[in-house]
Amino acid sequence: MKITDVRTFLYRAGGANRRYGPILFVRVDTDAGISGWGEGSTWAGGSALIADFGIGQVRDMLIGRDPSEIEAIWHAICRRYTYMGSRGMPTQVLSAIDIALWDIKGKALERPIYDLLGGRVRETVPVYANAWWPDGAREPQDYADAALRTVDTGHRSLKFDPFLEMAEAFYAYVSGEITPEHESAGIARVAAVREAVGPNVHILIDAHGQYDVSSAIRIADRLAELDVAWLEEPVPPESHDALRQVRENTAVPICVGERLFTRFDFAPILERRLADFVMPDVCWTGGISELRRIGALAEAHYVPLSPHNAAGPIQIVAGSHVGLTTPNFYRLEHAMGWIPVYNAPLREPLGFERDFLTVSDRPGLGIEVDEDYLERHRYTESA
């Protein structure tokens, strides 16, 4: 079997605003009539547009290759296109291709990907809920009410960023400071959620890498009193020393990893014991192959794996196949409000139920993409 073509599909996810940019699917075709699907999306702005360009650059080197040689292709792309660094766009491109190759292999062997990874260690994939609050929510009671509704659906782990006033730091980190009134407003939202859901629900706080060291420590200390299960990305991802300072000065568990790429970024985090959870993104860090390796590396340090998800449905499904086979798996992220968005380009909906996801036993990823939907919702800058 040989690769005959590599095509990309950029589409606008229904209900997504421009800040989230388009979703990027890739289809790898073969002369055996088998095609595999991958995803190279990011939630931030137009990053998928850059990855779309990058996939076009690797297309020629893939044509004629045997798609079953996943490891060889992974290293060929990684070494050829990462001479100026492997962080970001190169690994985003690599991830999309890698997922598609695993899909092809599963279809060719008529087995689901999780079987090829060693088989299940659990029957379903546990998930945690993001995006469970109503649009425009600001008052603590708004969050408390929404949290109760989410718990009533069966979820036992909720994530949110309560410090709304820091949202501009997603794209424009400057000082990392937060005003006392905005800090207290965020803490009040967390306190309201904790009071509403009681002590047996995990509350995960996402800081989005927005804070300087002193602000992160101060916020972490206040969150510790509310028994949060983790503080995610308390400082920007570039400085291990900053992360170490936060970790050594707070009792709150730390989660990092959505902006770390390949096992080589995760190795020092684990070796220096800088995190209690790691959260690589299967569409950014190097695909199914690399997510699996990072999981094994984390297992050797007794650190749970909890993949980041903030894009499209192939991201969810690819992470789920790894989750089924990874002993040290915590939960897979999903956005409650995005379940219709996940399902829209698929012929059959994903198997979300309560706080778990059932993975199809069909070959490969186990999904069928609706290409007509992708064409009808093709991304344009004016859309």
Report, as residue numbers or ranges, the catalytic residues: 171, 208
CA 190-194-199 angle, to 5 degrees, is: 145
Q: Look at residue 256 and give its three-state secondary structure.
A: strand
Are the C-beta atoms of 357 and 331 separated by less than 8 Å?
no
Handedness of CA 349, 53, 55, 294 (dihedral sign): negative
Residue 259 CB coordination number (10 Å): 21
For 112: left if phi > 0, alpha if psi spans -120 to 50, otherwise beta; the answer is beta
CA neighbor of 10 nearest in space, from 32, 36, 42? 42
User: If DSSP states are collapsed to H, E and C, what string results for 89-142?
Assistant: HHHHHHHHHHHHHHHHHHHHHCCEHHHHCCCCCCCCEEEEEECCCCCCCCCHHH
Residues 6+ apart with CB under 8 A from 42: 21, 48, 51, 92, 283, 284, 310, 311
Place of tokens 């408390």: 144
211, 212, 218, 223 alpha-carbon torsion, rounded to 10° = 30
Residue 181 CB coordination number (10 Å): 9
CA atoms within 13 A on the CB side of 295: 28
Place of tokens 């730390």: 254
